[in-house]
Structure 1
Amino acid sequence: MSALDFSPQPGAAPLSSQVRAQARMETRLLLRNGEQLLLAVVIPVLVLIGGVVGLTHVDLSLTHRPVDELTPGVLALAIMSSAFTSVAIATGFERRYGVLKRLGASPLPRSGLLAGKVVALLVVEVLQVVLVSLVGLVLGWSPSWSVAGCLGFVLALVLGTASFASLGLFLAGTLRAEATLAVANLVYLLLLAGGAVVLPSSSYGAFGSVARWLPSGALGDAMRAAFLDGAVAWSSLPCLVGWALVGGYLTARTFSWE
């Protein structure tokens, strides 16, 4: 009778299992956070409803009905809310409380941590798109459906998420948590008011030529091209790529895990 071997055999779970577990945790944390839900869901829906009602009483030159102009812009606003503001604030406080440092010491590699955050972010954005679209349809939204428009929407979603998330991580990786909270909310409000995200850049007069080159303006114009014209905004997508590259480079050079 041979002796039993009770020696430990430590080992990490497969990377895919680690990423799924991290993504589930990140998603639950996002959905349980009241402030994140306010930014991700409540504010975009209120902007859509209030904008549609308000524009019916305001003489603003729009090429389409207010609900058709506003709904793609509010979809862009929802993406900006989650990919930039929520990511920046959540990451900033994770740095402050040492969460990222502890995760860095776990078997989960940094690539797995990033992948988990990306998956959770995409899950939240899908929920946002569904909710805002339903509200828009109830208000009478009539999008232009086409293969090119669907492609333009997917490209705008992916590139907009990449650009805003990279900028949010850059902000969270260089400032203290309290400063990140203040700056992220301030930037969000400034882009909401003057970043050509909800309304087209042509509505901003002379400043529109500047606003269209902001990540908010490029994302808003790309969304409107997808749902209003059923086309891919090839003039706006390279701008989002550029912002994603700039944000990724700055994050890689400056991000501090604690």
Structure 2
Amino acid sequence: MTTGADRPAVGTHAGAAPTARRIAAQTAFEARAILRNGEQLLVTVVVPVLALIALVQVESLDVDTGGLRRIDFFAPGVLALAVMTSSFTSQAIASAFDRRNGVLRLLSTTPLGRGGLIAGKVLGVLVVEVVQVLVIGLTAVALGWRPDAAGVGLALLAVALGTAAFTSLALLVAGTLRAEAVLAVANLALLLLALAGGVVVPADRLPGALQHVAVLLPSGALGEAMRGAFQHGAMPAWSVVVLVGWTAALGWGATRLFRWH
């Protein structure tokens, strides 16, 4: 016979590890799943590195750098692109197939819970981004990049804001579309945003109306934030407003529309 003191408290799971440990375990799993997957590793690390080398070394790519060296002009944008690949493209595709295969529904019923699962995914993305920043940053330094040290802290803030916005977008897409559709949409969106979203090339270098559209997109805001931090040691206030606004809107949408199965 059990007494009230012997029973687990309502809302708890008998024998379950502490919440922080469960989230840490899920974080490690999410990060390993991305870094051990050849396709994901190609998208998150190899492609941004190759893009950086090509943009810096191929002189025939005629871009107005505003008097900056090519490495100083392109490195912040490529880092922003890397954040997008891990927090949006990789996360959307992985979450969509986990949802199709019933993994998300199963994990959401474990002691980890839905909140712990989402926290693990977000933190897993941040771990991958640490690897990305180190690899791309060291490559850029080898190519002659010498960023403004005063802007490093602001750049990290920009990464956090960009991660929040694009992870929210990833979960919204992954939770509402079929996995096969997410695969196509995520890759196409990354390509379009990279070319015309104000990420690698500033919005004011884009043709026509794209200049005005790009500054309102999370991609353009992240690109401008990274360039402002590394090139001028200051982050544009408008970029912060745009990223926070997109995070709020996309997060609300993901919360309301996400289907776990």
2:218 corresponds in structure 1 to 215
**Quick one: which of 46, 51, 74 aligns to 1:47?**
51
* Runs of at least 5 residues in structure 1 that lack an aligned partner in the other structure: 1-6
Alpha-carbon distance in 1 for matches of 2:222, 2:120: 24
**Given that residues 165 and 247 in structure 2 are in contact (C-alpha distance below 8 angstroms), is that contact kept between their aligned partners in structure 1?**
yes
Q: CA deviation at 1:150?
A: 2.6
Q: CA deviation at 1:155?
A: 1.8
Alpha-carbon distance in 1 for matches of 2:63, 2:24: 47
1:165-244 equivalences in 2 (<5 Å)? 165-206=167-208, 207-244=210-247
1:106 corresponds in structure 2 to 110
**Quick one: which of 79, 87, 92 aligns to 2:91?**
87
Alpha-carbon distance in 1 for matches of 2:214, 2:120: 32
Q: CA deviation at 1:57?
A: 2.9
Alpha-carbon distance in 2 for matches of 1:33, 1:208: 36
Q: CA deviation at 1:8?
A: 11
Alpha-carbon distance in 1 for matches of 2:175, 2:53: 35
The letter for the 1-side match of 2:21 is: S
Question: What does the per-residue CA deviation read over 1:2-24, in whole Å, with 9 as the maximum and x for residues that have no partner?
Answer: xxxxx999421111111111111
1:3 corresponds in structure 2 to none
- Determine whether 1:13 maps to 2:17: yes
**Given that residues 55 and 61 in structure 2 are in contact (C-alpha distance below 8 angstroms), is that contact kept between their aligned partners in structure 1?**
no
- Normalising by structure 2, report the TM-score: 0.92
Q: CA deviation at 1:116?
A: 1.1
The letter for the 2-side match of 1:26 is: E
Q: CA deviation at 1:205?
A: 3.2
The letter for the 2-side match of 1:14 is: P
In terms of mean alpha carbon deviation, does 234-243 or 73-82 score higher? 234-243
1:248 corresponds in structure 2 to 251
**Given that residues 83 and 168 in structure 1 are in contact (C-alpha distance below 8 angstroms), is that contact kept between their aligned partners in structure 2?**
yes
Q: CA deviation at 1:151?
A: 3.3
Alpha-carbon distance in 2 for matches of 1:200, 1:8: 60
Alpha-carbon distance in 1 for matches of 2:167, 2:50: 23
Alpha-carbon distance in 1 for matches of 2:40, 2:34: 6
* Local SS of the residue matching 1:174: coil
When the two chains are superposed, the root-mean-square deviation of aligned CA atoms in Å is: 1.5
Alpha-carbon distance in 1 for matches of 2:74, 2:124: 26
The letter for the 2-side match of 1:46 is: L
Identity %: 51
Question: What does the per-residue CA deviation read over 1:94-146, in whole Å, with 9 as the maximum and x for residues that have no partner?
Answer: 00000011111211121111111111111100110011110101111121121
Q: 1:108 to 1:224 in 2, by over 3 A?
A: same
The letter for the 2-side match of 1:250 is: G
The letter for the 2-side match of 1:219 is: L
1:150 corresponds in structure 2 to 152
Aligned residues: 249
* Local SS of the residue matching 2:237: coil
The letter for the 2-side match of 1:255 is: F
The letter for the 2-side match of 1:211 is: A
Runs of 4+ in 1 over 6 A off after TM superposition: none
Question: What does the per-residue CA deviation read over 1:47-100, in whole Å, with 9 as the maximum and x for residues that have no partner?
Answer: 10011122x334422121111010000000000000000110000000000001
* Local SS of the residue matching 1:205: coil
- Determine whether 1:29 maps to 2:33: yes
* Runs of at least 5 residues in structure 2 that lack an aligned partner in the other structure: 1-5, 9-13
Q: CA deviation at 1:45?
A: 0.5
1:153-164 equivalences in 2 (<5 Å)? 153-164=155-166
Alpha-carbon distance in 2 for matches of 1:61, 1:30: 35
Question: What does the per-residue CA deviation read over 1:145-175, in whole Å, with 9 as the maximum and x for residues that have no partner?
Answer: 21xx233212211110000000010000000
